[in-house]
Chain A
Amino acid sequence: MSDKPNIASLSGRKKVVSNKKMTFMEMIYLPAIIGGFGITLSHFFKKKVTLQYPEETKPRSEIYRGMHVLKRDDEGRERCTACGLCAISCPAEAITMIAAERKEEEMNLYREEKYASMYEINMLRCIFCGLCEEACPKEAIFLTDRIVSSDLHRGDFIYGKDLLVEPVDQRIDISHRQTPEVLKFKLDKNQSHNS
């Protein structure tokens, strides 16, 4: 057996698709060219699809993976317990945090006994893959459909807790990112200590 491939079909479903013979009409250029003019002209009068971006916006998908949010629970306590799973699962190594022990008087600030005293995401490193959201066992970090805006300084892209934690009065709804089972589970009053 030599280099020569089997000219017969390997798959039994072969179909030659390129036809290189030109008919006379194709030889004289004009019919195809005029046909092309027709196509472009039909688009000339079509409604334009352009989105005038800064003024008009297109709604992003509800599950769009944009800027992160650190959630608070219903009582306004931060959910994050600084377990570090998000940092480990991050392929870009963009997340850093420092864990701290919750003090007595901070009961209304943090949900768990351990919390992140410093939580930073380097938004320039981040690739918005969503693995941190998946890794979080505490419903603390979610990606949202907000986008991170561009900036002039590289240093300004390290987002700390001031930017990541959702404000108490402006909650961000992330329920559409969760499965129906989780949503059902969260309604269960008996399990409320967990969710």
Chain B
Amino acid sequence: MDGTYILYKFILASAILLISLLVAMYSTLLERKVAAFFQDRLGPNRAGIFGIFQPLADGLKLFFKEEFMPGDADKFLYILGPSLTMMIALLTSAVIPWGNSLVIGGAEYSLQVADVNVGVLYVFAILSIGVYGIMIGGWASNNKYALIGAVRAASQMISYELAMSMTIIAIVMMSGSLSLKDMVEQQHGMNWNVWYQPLGFLIFLVCAFAECNRSPFDLPECETELIGGYHTEYSSMKLGFYLFAEYINMFISSAMIATLFFGGYNFPFMDDLHLSHNVITIIGSLVFFVKIAFFVFFFMWVRWTLPRFRYDQLMRLGWKSLLPLAIVNMIITGLVIMIKHHL
């Protein structure tokens, strides 16, 4: 392995890390602005024009706020919780193909940090660890509301992971690969998976909401019931990590939706433009971010429109509706593939 390769990976990884953080940071502002606009309000506009410094203000304030540790808390776990959540949220971005490759000086540089050949499995593995951060935090706070929040988060995660994986299996069957890069490559042009898997997309979308603990599945925090849920006892930057992780998760989930169902960095008529490979790659990456932005917006749109589920209804929806539907979807996909294969 030569030095250039390490340098390139290092730059790419830092760039993606930075972008994730930046996007998450500004998602917080976007969320507040979007909420305001949905509600006929203006939203933050005092900190800089359009409230552009609002996230900085929030971050700085949280940073300088008093560190607080409840008397009966488990000290180690209490700190571990938010750190784990934050770390895991950032890990997923490694396997997402942010764009095709750039050719510089004859060498090809892929815009994916790691093209793991079991990328999908990696994502799921990481995502399912994510809930530990919440669980540990909720447990360590030694607060009943936090505990209820943590328990809810854990059970919610388990129920929806299953349906989510089932839909992915259908996709995997179609692409015949577990690598995200391959999956994107197969959706070249307008050949997006969403056209073939509308039901799968719907299920995946719902599960993504549940995995991110976003409304209408925001039971673990659920302000009006559990005050703050798992982060009730957290203050200062530890709280900041939790809130931040939520937005990073949202960003990553949107990226996953775009990658799996909306062709990632592919866009229609990309072959008809007759542009150089590098330009196409850059446009592709931008398109990818537009797609992500739309889904981030969609996440917010849903939050400010719908009431939330009740705990048992959430379980019922997960196990009794989404899981059977996902299985049916999988079987149909299998049948269609089989029939096509034999024709």
Contact = CB atoms under 8 A, between A and B. Distances in A.
User: A–B direct touch, CB within 8 Å, in complex?
Assistant: yes
Interface stretch (A14-22, A41-49, A75-83, A158-166): A41-49
B40 A50 contact: yes
Of all A-B residue pairs in the complex, the 6 with the closest CB atoms, nearest first, are A50-B42, A36-B305, A40-B305, A40-B38, A44-B37, A49-B40
11 contacts: A36-B306, A37-B301, A39-B305, A40-B301, A41-B38, A43-B40, A44-B34, A46-B40, A48-B41, A49-B40, A52-B42
B41 A50 contact: yes
Contacts of A40: 38, 301, 304-305
B39 interface: yes
Interface residues of B, number: 12
A44 B38 contact: yes
Contacts of A118: none
Contacts, number: 32
Nearest to A30: B202
B305 A48 contact: no
Interface string B31-59: 00010011111100000000000000000
Interface residues of A, number: 13
B39 A43 contact: yes
A33 interface: yes
A9 B248 CA distance: 58
Interface string B285-305: 000000000000000011011
Contacts of B301: 37, 40-41
Interface string A3-36: 0000000000000000000000000000001001
Contacts of B41: 48-50
A99 B339 CA distance: 103
Nearest to A35: B305
Contacts of B306: 33, 36
Contacts of B37: 43-44, 48
